[in-house]
Chains A and B, each alone.
Chain A
């Protein structure tokens, strides 16, 4: 399809529980990106993939966050042992290429609330 599909739209977890978010990129797009938006107007890059390979993980908190993009499956972002500070909207984007010539197409996000 021509949209990036993120599920679920909303997720509520108790502190310490696991959270798993999913992203189906646009067919034919080989790059996937995850961003975290905690406050309005503030985005934090987390990780990017080229197909199933990690391309850039410089923004990933190593201890509790992990992500995968496996063939023929939606990409996923998993947070083990969630903390209150993980409450945010998580956006996934996909792109035809990594270079700046291509724009990113973003999904509508998953709102994670940790209580």
Chain B
């Protein structure tokens, strides 16, 4: 499995954009990049995933570097409900989702 490096924590202000970085320099060509988050006392929640192109959905945007060695999850307007641990996970076909330490996002009112 490709290794990932994420900062331990990040703070943001409510209603401002948040950019959560992830380095995955050992990613293979067939690994998708998945992002999940875990809100307090809940199960992990799928956020977004992509392979090469940038992706948008109702929750977030995913910007993938051209060399695919890093990606950034973008929350366009952070809310208090977005405070969670965010996991960046390179995910290969026929393997399983493997969680790292993640990044803890705090949102200030």
Most buried by B among A43, A48, A98: A43
* Cross-chain pair count, CB within 8 angstroms: 56
B53 in the interface (beta carbon within 8 A): no
- Choose from B34, B93, B104 the contact partner of A103 (Cβ within 8 Å): B34
- In the assembled complex, which residues on chain A have CB atoms less than 8 Å from the CB atom of B93? 98-101
Least Cβ–Cβ distance between A90 and chain B, in angstroms: 10
| Tally of contact residues, A, Cβ under 8 A | 23
Secondary structure call for the B interface: loop
B interface residues with partner A (beta carbon < 8 Å): 30-32, 34, 36, 42-46, 49, 85, 91-99, 101-102, 104
Given contacts A42-B99, A91-B44, A103-B34, 8 further A-B contacts (CB under 8 A): A35-B99, A43-B44, A43-B99, A100-B32, A100-B34, A100-B93, A101-B93, A104-B36
